[in-house]
Amino acid sequence: MQISRLKLYHYPATRSARVKWLLHELLEDDFDVEVVPLYEGVQYSAEYLQKNPNHNVPTLEITLAGGETRVMLESGAMISLLADIYPDKGLAPAPDTFSVARADYLQMLHFGTSWMDMMLWQIRIHTHLLGADSDARTIARYNTKFTQEVEPQVLARLEQADFICGDTFTAADCVMGQNVLWATAYGLCQSPRFADYLARLSQRPAFGKAFSDLDGFSLAPPENSTASPTGLFTG
Ligand SMILES: N[C@@H](CCC(=O)N[C@@H](CS)C(=O)NCC(=O)O)C(=O)O
Protein backbone atom coordinates (compact mmCIF):
# COMPACT_ATOMS: atom_id res chain seq x y z
CA MET A 1 0.00 0.00 0.00
CA GLN A 2 1.41 3.36 -1.04
CA ILE A 3 1.28 6.60 0.95
CA SER A 4 0.75 9.62 -1.26
CA ARG A 5 0.90 12.37 1.39
CA LEU A 6 1.33 12.90 5.12
CA LYS A 7 -0.17 15.75 7.11
CA LEU A 8 0.64 16.53 10.72
CA TYR A 9 -1.66 18.48 13.01
CA HIS A 10 0.72 20.25 15.33
CA TYR A 11 1.18 22.80 18.08
CA PRO A 12 4.64 24.20 18.93
CA ALA A 13 6.69 22.50 21.67
CA THR A 14 4.10 19.81 22.37
CA ARG A 15 4.22 16.08 21.70
CA SER A 16 3.55 16.76 18.03
CA ALA A 17 7.06 18.27 17.83
CA ARG A 18 8.51 14.74 18.27
CA VAL A 19 6.68 13.61 15.20
CA LYS A 20 7.44 16.77 13.24
CA TRP A 21 11.13 16.28 14.05
CA LEU A 22 11.08 12.70 12.78
CA LEU A 23 9.16 13.72 9.65
CA HIS A 24 11.84 16.33 8.90
CA GLU A 25 14.53 13.65 9.46
CA LEU A 26 12.76 11.33 7.01
CA LEU A 27 11.21 13.63 4.42
CA GLU A 28 12.94 16.98 4.90
CA ASP A 29 9.98 19.38 4.27
CA ASP A 30 7.91 17.14 2.02
CA PHE A 31 4.82 16.84 4.23
CA ASP A 32 2.03 19.15 5.33
CA VAL A 33 1.62 20.78 8.72
CA GLU A 34 -1.46 22.43 10.16
CA VAL A 35 -1.19 24.26 13.47
CA VAL A 36 -4.07 23.57 15.87
CA PRO A 37 -4.21 26.58 18.23
CA LEU A 38 -4.69 24.66 21.48
CA TYR A 39 -4.96 27.76 23.67
CA GLU A 40 -7.89 28.92 21.52
CA GLY A 41 -9.70 25.58 21.89
CA VAL A 42 -9.60 24.70 18.18
CA GLN A 43 -9.01 21.06 19.16
CA TYR A 44 -12.66 21.06 20.29
CA SER A 45 -14.07 22.19 16.94
CA ALA A 46 -16.49 19.66 15.40
CA GLU A 47 -14.21 19.30 12.38
CA TYR A 48 -11.15 18.47 14.48
CA LEU A 49 -13.02 16.18 16.90
CA GLN A 50 -14.13 14.13 13.92
CA LYS A 51 -10.46 13.43 13.16
CA ASN A 52 -9.34 13.16 16.76
CA PRO A 53 -11.93 12.52 19.49
CA ASN A 54 -9.14 12.90 22.09
CA HIS A 55 -8.96 16.63 21.13
CA ASN A 56 -5.19 16.71 21.12
CA VAL A 57 -2.10 16.88 18.93
CA PRO A 58 -0.46 15.17 17.19
CA THR A 59 -2.87 13.82 14.63
CA LEU A 60 -1.20 12.27 11.62
CA GLU A 61 -3.34 12.13 8.50
CA ILE A 62 -2.15 9.55 6.00
CA THR A 63 -3.47 9.92 2.45
CA LEU A 64 -3.17 6.69 0.51
CA ALA A 65 -2.45 6.43 -3.21
CA GLY A 66 -6.17 5.90 -3.94
CA GLY A 67 -7.08 9.17 -2.15
CA GLU A 68 -8.47 7.49 0.97
CA THR A 69 -7.27 8.90 4.32
CA ARG A 70 -6.49 7.29 7.66
CA VAL A 71 -5.52 8.98 10.91
CA MET A 72 -3.17 8.04 13.72
CA LEU A 73 -3.59 9.62 17.17
CA GLU A 74 -0.65 8.45 19.31
CA SER A 75 2.79 10.02 18.93
CA GLY A 76 4.56 6.77 19.93
CA ALA A 77 2.73 4.75 17.28
CA MET A 78 3.49 7.41 14.66
CA ILE A 79 7.20 7.45 15.50
CA SER A 80 7.39 3.66 15.44
CA LEU A 81 5.58 3.32 12.13
CA LEU A 82 7.34 6.18 10.34
CA ALA A 83 10.83 5.03 11.29
CA ASP A 84 10.00 1.49 10.09
CA ILE A 85 8.52 2.45 6.74
CA TYR A 86 11.58 4.45 5.68
CA PRO A 87 14.24 1.80 6.46
CA ASP A 88 16.74 3.42 4.09
CA LYS A 89 17.01 6.34 6.56
CA GLY A 90 18.38 3.96 9.21
CA LEU A 91 16.52 5.48 12.18
CA ALA A 92 15.26 2.18 13.64
CA PRO A 93 16.80 -1.27 13.99
CA ALA A 94 15.05 -3.62 11.54
CA PRO A 95 11.77 -5.13 12.82
CA ASP A 96 11.78 -8.41 10.89
CA THR A 97 14.08 -10.49 13.09
CA PHE A 98 14.84 -10.40 16.80
CA SER A 99 17.74 -8.20 17.75
CA VAL A 100 18.87 -6.84 21.09
CA ALA A 101 19.14 -3.42 19.41
CA ARG A 102 15.51 -3.55 18.29
CA ALA A 103 14.31 -4.63 21.75
CA ASP A 104 16.26 -1.81 23.38
CA TYR A 105 15.04 0.76 20.83
CA LEU A 106 11.38 -0.17 21.37
CA GLN A 107 11.92 -0.20 25.13
CA MET A 108 13.25 3.38 25.08
CA LEU A 109 10.68 4.63 22.59
CA HIS A 110 7.83 3.34 24.76
CA PHE A 111 9.50 4.35 28.03
CA GLY A 112 9.67 7.87 26.57
CA THR A 113 6.13 8.04 25.24
CA SER A 114 4.40 6.34 28.18
CA TRP A 115 6.15 6.15 31.56
CA MET A 116 8.35 9.25 31.34
CA ASP A 117 5.74 11.23 29.38
CA MET A 118 3.05 10.42 31.97
CA MET A 119 5.12 12.04 34.75
CA LEU A 120 5.95 15.12 32.66
CA TRP A 121 2.30 15.51 31.70
CA GLN A 122 1.13 15.35 35.32
CA ILE A 123 3.69 17.98 36.28
CA ARG A 124 2.67 20.14 33.34
CA ILE A 125 -1.09 20.03 33.78
CA HIS A 126 -0.94 20.54 37.54
CA THR A 127 1.52 23.43 37.17
CA HIS A 128 0.00 25.28 34.23
CA LEU A 129 -3.22 23.87 32.82
CA LEU A 130 -5.70 22.73 35.45
CA GLY A 131 -6.38 26.03 37.18
CA ALA A 132 -8.29 25.54 40.42
CA ASP A 133 -8.08 21.72 40.04
CA SER A 134 -4.29 21.81 40.35
CA ASP A 135 -2.79 19.73 43.13
CA ALA A 136 0.62 20.71 44.48
CA ARG A 137 1.12 17.22 45.99
CA THR A 138 0.83 15.63 42.55
CA ILE A 139 3.52 17.98 41.23
CA ALA A 140 5.79 17.18 44.18
CA ARG A 141 5.21 13.42 43.89
CA TYR A 142 6.04 13.27 40.18
CA ASN A 143 8.99 15.63 40.55
CA THR A 144 10.47 13.25 43.11
CA LYS A 145 9.68 10.15 41.10
CA PHE A 146 11.10 11.70 37.93
CA THR A 147 14.27 12.90 39.63
CA GLN A 148 14.91 9.74 41.61
CA GLU A 149 13.81 7.07 39.15
CA VAL A 150 13.68 8.36 35.57
CA GLU A 151 16.62 10.75 35.36
CA PRO A 152 19.24 8.25 36.64
CA GLN A 153 18.18 5.70 34.01
CA VAL A 154 18.43 8.21 31.18
CA LEU A 155 21.67 9.69 32.51
CA ALA A 156 23.29 6.26 32.79
CA ARG A 157 22.65 5.77 29.10
CA LEU A 158 23.97 9.19 28.15
CA GLU A 159 27.13 8.50 30.18
CA GLN A 160 27.76 5.44 28.02
CA ALA A 161 26.90 6.80 24.60
CA ASP A 162 25.95 9.92 22.65
CA PHE A 163 22.37 8.89 21.96
CA ILE A 164 19.66 7.15 23.93
CA CYS A 165 20.18 3.74 22.31
CA GLY A 166 23.91 3.92 21.69
CA ASP A 167 26.29 5.74 19.41
CA THR A 168 23.78 6.13 16.59
CA PHE A 169 20.87 8.54 16.46
CA THR A 170 17.51 6.73 16.22
CA ALA A 171 13.85 7.75 16.15
CA ALA A 172 13.81 7.07 19.92
CA ASP A 173 15.95 10.23 20.27
CA CYS A 174 13.10 12.28 18.76
CA VAL A 175 11.04 11.18 21.77
CA MET A 176 13.78 11.37 24.37
CA GLY A 177 15.13 14.69 23.08
CA GLN A 178 11.70 16.29 23.16
CA ASN A 179 11.06 14.87 26.64
CA VAL A 180 14.38 16.22 27.95
CA LEU A 181 13.60 19.64 26.47
CA TRP A 182 10.15 19.49 28.09
CA ALA A 183 11.66 18.40 31.41
CA THR A 184 14.16 21.27 31.43
CA ALA A 185 11.27 23.73 31.07
CA TYR A 186 10.02 22.35 34.42
CA GLY A 187 13.38 22.54 36.19
CA LEU A 188 14.19 18.85 35.66
CA CYS A 189 17.07 17.21 33.74
CA GLN A 190 19.56 19.81 35.02
CA SER A 191 22.72 17.68 34.74
CA PRO A 192 25.24 19.05 32.18
CA ARG A 193 24.96 15.66 30.43
CA PHE A 194 21.42 16.55 29.44
CA ALA A 195 22.60 19.92 28.13
CA ASP A 196 25.30 18.10 26.12
CA TYR A 197 22.69 15.70 24.74
CA LEU A 198 20.43 18.59 23.68
CA ALA A 199 23.39 20.42 22.15
CA ARG A 200 24.25 17.30 20.13
CA LEU A 201 20.65 16.90 18.98
CA SER A 202 20.26 20.56 18.12
CA GLN A 203 23.04 20.25 15.54
CA ARG A 204 20.64 18.21 13.42
CA PRO A 205 18.84 20.35 10.81
CA ALA A 206 15.59 18.44 11.43
CA PHE A 207 15.71 19.35 15.13
CA GLY A 208 16.13 23.02 14.17
CA LYS A 209 13.08 22.84 11.93
CA ALA A 210 10.92 20.99 14.46
CA PHE A 211 11.61 23.53 17.19
CA SER A 212 11.86 26.68 15.06
CA ASP A 213 8.39 27.70 16.29
CA LEU A 214 9.28 27.58 20.02
CA ASP A 215 8.92 31.37 20.24
CA GLY A 216 5.20 30.99 19.61
CA PHE A 217 4.77 28.82 22.72
CA SER A 218 4.09 29.77 26.32
CA LEU A 219 3.95 27.18 29.10
CA ALA A 220 0.88 28.82 30.60
CA PRO A 221 -2.17 29.62 28.48
CA PRO A 222 -2.86 33.34 28.04
CA GLU A 223 -5.31 34.89 30.54
CA ASN A 224 -8.17 34.92 28.05
CA SER A 225 -7.58 31.33 26.88
CA THR A 226 -10.62 29.39 25.73
CA ALA A 227 -8.74 26.08 25.86
CA SER A 228 -11.89 23.96 26.10
CA PRO A 229 -15.66 24.46 26.26
CA THR A 230 -15.18 25.11 30.00
CA GLY A 231 -12.23 27.44 29.38
CA LEU A 232 -9.76 24.94 30.90
CA PHE A 233 -7.76 21.97 29.75
CA THR A 234 -9.31 18.72 30.88
CA GLY A 235 -5.93 17.07 31.42
N1 LIG B 1 -0.80 10.19 24.16
C2 LIG B 1 -0.93 11.27 23.23
C3 LIG B 1 -1.09 12.56 24.03
C4 LIG B 1 -1.30 13.80 23.16
C5 LIG B 1 -1.61 15.05 23.99
O6 LIG B 1 -2.18 14.97 25.10
N7 LIG B 1 -1.29 16.24 23.47
C8 LIG B 1 -1.50 17.50 24.18
C9 LIG B 1 -0.35 18.44 23.86
S10 LIG B 1 1.20 17.79 24.38
C11 LIG B 1 -2.76 18.17 23.67
O12 LIG B 1 -2.92 18.33 22.48
N13 LIG B 1 -3.67 18.57 24.57
C14 LIG B 1 -4.85 19.32 24.21
C15 LIG B 1 -6.08 18.88 24.95
O16 LIG B 1 -6.04 17.86 25.67
O17 LIG B 1 -7.10 19.55 24.80
C18 LIG B 1 0.30 11.30 22.33
O19 LIG B 1 1.41 11.07 22.82
O20 LIG B 1 0.15 11.53 21.12
Residue 229 lies in a domain: no
Residue of 51, 57, 175, 218 best suited for mutating to test ligand 1, as the one with most atoms within 8 Å of CB: 57
Question: Which ligand 1 atom is the nearest neighbour of the CA of 124?
Answer: 10
Please give the residue range of the domain that contains residue 196. 100-204
How many CA atoms within 13 Å lie on the side-chain side of 111? 19
Q: How many angstroms is it from 142 CA to the middle of ligand 1?
A: 18
Question: Which ligand 1 atom is the nearest neighbour of the CA of 54?
Answer: 16
Q: Which amino acid is at 30?
A: D
Q: How many angstroms is it from 146 CA to the middle of ligand 1?
A: 20
**Which residue's CA is minimally distant from atom 9 of ligand 1?**
14
Q: What is the pLDDT of residues 16-66, one digit of tens each?
A: 999 999 999 999 999 999 999 999 999 999 999 999 999 999 999 999 999
Please enumerate in sequence order all residues whose Cβ is within 8 A of that of 215, keeping only pairs 6 or more positions apart, or say none.
none
Q: How many domains does the chain have?
A: 2
Residue 224 lies in a domain: no
Q: Which amino acid is at 169?
A: F
- The 8-class DSSP code of residue 221 comes to P
Q: Give me the pLDDT at residue 227, please.
A: 73
Distances (CA, A) of 84 to 9, 14, 26, 33, 160: 21, 23, 11, 21, 26
Q: Give me the pLDDT at residue 224, please.
A: 77
Looking at the structure, tell me whether residues 112 and 188 fall in a common domain: yes
Residue 90 CA to chain centroid, in angstroms? 20
CATH assignment of the domain containing 79: 3.40.30.10
Looking at the structure, tell me whether residues 87 and 109 fall in a common domain: no
For the four alpha carbons of 185, 181, 11 and 58, in that order, the dihedral sign comes to negative
Q: How many angstroms is it from 120 CA to the middle of ligand 1?
A: 12
Residues with a CB atom less than 6 Å from ligand 1: 14-15, 38, 43, 55-58, 74-75, 113, 233
Residue 167 and residue 162: Cα distance in Å, rounded?
A: 5
User: How many CB atoms lie under 10 A from the CB of residue 159?
Assistant: 9
Final residue of a structural domain among 92, 121, 147: 92
Looking at the structure, tell me whether residues 29 and 107 fall in a common domain: no
Residue 75 and residue 23: Cα distance in Å, rounded?
A: 12
Looking at the structure, tell me whether residues 105 and 137 fall in a common domain: yes
Question: Which ligand 1 atom is the nearest neighbour of the CA of 234?
Answer: 16
Q: Provide the β-strand partners of residue 69.
A: 63
Question: In the chain, which residues have pLDDT < 70?
Answer: 232
Residue of 15, 19, 82 best suited for mutating to test ligand 1, as the one with most atoms within 8 Å of CB: 15
Q: Give me the pLDDT at residue 168, please.
A: 98
Residue 162 and residue 173: Cα distance in Å, rounded?
A: 10
Cis peptide before 229 (omega within 30 of 0): no
Residue 218 lies in a domain: no
Q: Give me the pLDDT at residue 14, please.
A: 97
Question: Which ligand 1 atom is the nearest neighbour of the CA of 14?
Answer: 10
Q: Give me the pLDDT at residue 154, please.
A: 98
Q: Give me the pLDDT at residue 80, please.
A: 98
End-to-end CA distance of the chain: 36
